[in-house]
A = this chain, B = another copy of it.
Amino acid sequence: MSAFDPESIDVVACDVFGTTVDWYSGVRDTAAEVFGPLGVDLDTATFADDWRAMYLPALEQVESGARPFANLDVLHRESLDRLLDGHGVDRLVGNDARERLVRAWHRLPAWPDAAEGLARLRGRYVVATLSNGGLAMQTRLMKTTGLPFDCILSADMMRTYKPALQTYRGAATLLDMDPARILMVAAHGWDIDGARGAGLRTAFLERPQEKGPHRNADRADDTTSDLAVTSFIDLAQQLGC
């Protein structure tokens, strides 16, 4: 890892799901609340895990052009329907319960270091989200978490998903910024790889618990990034904020 000059960037762009907020706990807990009264006997941790595992293949359908752009709520609902059907609980879970599960992704807990780390980064940089979540979804999510972003950037502005190059390049165009002056922060190797390929600088933020206890989270060592950090506070420190 080469020395990184904090002056070489103007914008810190943050992935959201897994990197900034804890989707695993949030989705698992909402699933427990929804399934309990309906008598749905599924392990909610495995359910959260399995639902998220359908995410990248769903994005790939859009990126490959196999289907037209649809926002993440639509993709979540489709994969949820398939998942419930696969578990044979299709008839137990009505439309309202499904909508509530889809909206669980709009109300997730922030990782404990996010508020302080982002606030410190904001003192020096423009701090944006850059997420595959839609603008509406992210806006509600940040309103409930209270996290202090300067602006929200969403895949639906570009009508394509990360890791497609155009998502990162489109964000740079909206930010009116050379991609090399944007630092992408993410807990996923595929996002770091996409950002690097689009000419952004990268910081891998390790979230060992991102996928819960059953799956291994991505690790910094498995990809190439300009920085490797363990929290937003660590990132702020490494950048001298």
On A, residues with C-beta under 8 Å from B are 71, 73, 126, 128, 134-140, 142-143, 150-154, 156-157, 173-177
Contacts and interface: CB of A to CB of B under 8 A. Distances in A.
A139 B157 contact: no
B174 A154 contact: yes
A150 B157 contact: no
Contacts of A71: 176
B176 A134 contact: yes
11 contacts: A126-B139, A126-B140, A134-B176, A135-B174, A136-B174, A136-B176, A136-B177, A138-B151, A142-B151, A143-B150, A151-B151
Interface centre among A128, A151, A156 (most CB of B within 10 A): A151
Nearest to A134: B176
Q: State the number of copies, please.
A: 2
Contact of A150 (B142, B154, B175): B142
Contacts of A151: 135, 138-139, 142, 151-152
Contacts of A153: 135
Given A157-B157, A157-B174, A176-B71, A139 B135 contact: no
A157 B137 CA distance: 17
Nearest to A176: B136
Given A150-B143, A151-B151, A152-B152, A176 B73 contact: yes
Contacts of A139: 126, 128, 150-151, 175
Contacts of A143: 126, 150
